[in-house]
Amino acid sequence: MDGVTSDNPPGTMDPAALRPLLPSPLVEAADERFTRRGLRLLLKRDDLIHPDLPGNKWRKLEPNLRAAAAAGADTLLTFGGAYSNHLRATAAAGRLLGFDTIGIVRGEELADRPLNPSLASCAADGMELRFVSRALYRRKTEPEVVTTLVPEGAFVIPEGGSNAAAAQGCTLLGRELRGIADVVGVACGTGGTLAGLTAGLTEGQRVIGFPVLKGGFLGEEILRLQQEAFGERRGDWTLDDRFHGGGYAKTSPELESFAADFETRHDLPLERLYVAKMLYGLTTLALDGAFAPGSTVVAVITGGAGAGGALAGA
């Protein structure tokens, strides 16, 4: 394939120019379901880091954007489903920093339909969308498929943005919580955020991950990422698989009523695909007496309830 050329002005590719809000704010949430049990609930507002690259998307993309710039790449290529927050964030990063972007989207049938709001936002940010069959998408990391999908010179960021650099970026989230949290709750898609977060914490701090996808091999994937990023398993973490609500973008009346009630109590719109499930899990565990009285529980708000935060009809 031909190499790619860029129309973008050079010299604008430093993510620091985007002025992220770091460390992200940590705010107390007075919630009697926690206080009644002698627990403090704090919200780690990573959703406020940047309006277009919120939450863990910033933390995972930032080191990859640096690596892309250092490698002299002017095109970013990444992968995602039709509702991927990661695709959106990558498209936004490209627009803001002067990278061209290509998104490989799962589902060739989508090419014939109007773009959903998430993909429309990618396109508006200048991302070139390439729709591929599910069969081909599954094989996207096989070398012979990579050569057909990836133009020469493009910097490849894996699906969900989770690679060793991303995990290393997320260690800063852990560092920001040192000396504060006893227990940290985080929602997991690919697990890249959890892999780095736990590595940034210290002795005596533990992390509970709440997978939003059903089944799968998330624990193994997190171990693989930690191995790749740090050479070993890091930190004290477990996964609680009971709160995915049936799978990605699936919900239930219980989850929805929990989320609506939490929004009213704390005057905070909740992102539904990830954050609401994590808070439902953490609150259930608090009510079940899973945390020692006197503990400080930190919930990581990994993203906001923007246009991509709604359930998007999936």
Ligand X SMILES: *Cc1c(COP(=O)(O)O)cnc(C)c1O
Instruction: Report the catalytic residues.
Output: 84
98 or 189: CB nearest ligand X: 189
In the complex, minimum distance from the CB of residue 301 to ligand X, in angstroms, rounded to a whole number: 8
235 makes contact with ligand X (CB under 6 A): no
Query: Over the Cα atoms of the chain, what is R_g?
Result: 19
Site for ligand X in 28-67 (CB under 6 A): 55-57
In the complex, minimum distance from the CB of residue 226 to ligand X, in angstroms, rounded to a whole number: 13
Q: Tally the residues of the chain.
A: 314
In the complex, minimum distance from the CB of residue 32 to ligand X, in angstroms, rounded to a whole number: 26
Q: Which residue is nearest to ligand X (CB)?
A: 303
| CB-count burial class (<10 Å; 0-12, 13-18, 19+) for 152 | exposed
189 or 235: CB nearest ligand X: 189
In the complex, minimum distance from the CB of residue 34 to ligand X, in angstroms, rounded to a whole number: 21
Nearest to 188 by CA among 165, 209, 219, 161: 209
80 or 98: CB nearest ligand X: 80
The 3-state secondary structure of 112-159, one letter per residue:
HCCCCHHHHHHHHCCCEEEEECHHHHHCCCCHHHHHHHCCECCEECCH
Sole window of 9-17, 96-104, 120-128, 267-275 interacting with ligand X (rule: CB under 6 A): 267-275
Q: Which of 199, 271, 276, 281 binds ligand X (CB under 6 A)?
A: 271
Provide the strand spans (E) within the chain. 26-28, 40-44, 75-80, 100-106, 128-132, 155-156, 183-188, 206-211, 236-239, 296-300
Q: Which of 44, 45, 86, 106 binds ligand X (CB under 6 A)?
A: 86
274 makes contact with ligand X (CB under 6 A): yes
The 3-state secondary structure of 41-81, one letter per residue:
EEEECHHHCCCCCCHHHHHHHHHHHHHHHHCCCCEEEEEEC
Residues 170-199 vs ligand X: string with x where CB under 6 A?
-----------------xxxxxxx------
Cβ–Cβ < 8 Å for 201, 235: yes
85 makes contact with ligand X (CB under 6 A): yes
91 makes contact with ligand X (CB under 6 A): no
Q: Which H or E run contains 255?
A: helix 253-266
Cis upstream peptide for 51 (omega within 30°): no
81 makes contact with ligand X (CB under 6 A): no
36 by DSSP, 3-state: which? Answer: coil
Site for ligand X in 122-181 (CB under 6 A): 160, 162
Which residues of this protein are in contact with ligand X, per CB under 6 A?
55-57, 85-86, 160, 162, 187-193, 271, 274-275, 302-303
